[in-house]
Amino acid sequence: MIPARVQQFLDWHGLRAITFAPGSTPTSEMAAAKLGVEVGQIAKSILMAGKDGHFRLVVLPGDKKVHTTKLKNVTGCKHRMATAEETLEATGFPVGAVCPFDPDGLEVYLDQGLGRYGTVYPAAGTDASGVPVTLEHLASITGGTVCDLAKEEG
């Protein structure tokens, strides 16, 4: 079931969540298999803890990892991945269910690599959901900054 605050946000923006049945999809690979899409189309949301005491939400293709130096170049400070406990406390969602919808005051950074796809699927506050959306629409509704944050392959 989609959390009420996320559903309200989606309704406000004319979006709908797709729920996966049966079971959860806590990894990008599992979610992509359920949807029948490329792993990169799964827009994974990762909470990063800044040395300045602020958390930032990074959304990137499911087949990529955060390049912390690139994040530092954009934000001006070093970051580490938030712990599961910090993630739940700061976002209200457990790891695997974190979503960029209604980010509760967090700065949102969207990796430009999401633009490789016509449609990407961020979670809707559960580990068994996705919301079909374009990068441009996601940036518009979240106020997210589109930038280069992913590690290069190889």
Q: Specify if 127 maps to a domain.
A: yes
Q: Are 75 and 51 in contact (CB under 8 A)?
A: no
Summarize pLDDT for 20-57 with one digit per residue, the tens: 876 778 789 988 998 999 999 999 999 999 999 999 99
- In this prediction, residue 154 carries a pLDDT of 54
pLDDT band at 2 (very low <50, low <70, confident <90, very high): very high
Residue 105: give the domain boundaries.
4-147
On whether residue 23 sits in a domain, the answer given is yes
**Domains: count for the chain:** 1
Residue 154 maps to a domain: no
Q: Label the pairing between strands 42-50 and 55-61.
A: antiparallel
- Residue 14: which CATH number? 3.90.960.10
Q: What is the C-alpha to C-alpha distance for residues 92 and 88, in angstroms, rounded to an integer? A: 5
Q: How far apart are CA 62 and CA 41, in angstroms?
A: 7
Instruction: Tell me whether residue 83 is in a domain.
Output: yes
The answer to the question of residue 153 being in a domain is no
- Decide if 40 contacts 113 (C-beta within 8 A): yes
pLDDT at 151 over 70: yes
pLDDT > 60? residue 16: yes
Structure tokens at 93: 């969602």
Chain mean position to CA 23 = 20
Domain assignment present for 19: yes
Question: Is position 152 within any domain?
Answer: no
Residue 134 lies in a domain: yes
Instruction: Tell me the per-residue pLDDT of 66-111, one tens digit each, with 9 for 90 and over.
Output: 999 999 999 999 999 999 999 999 999 999 899 999 877 899 999 9
Kindly state the average pLDDT of the residues 108-130: 95
Residue-level pLDDT at 135: 98
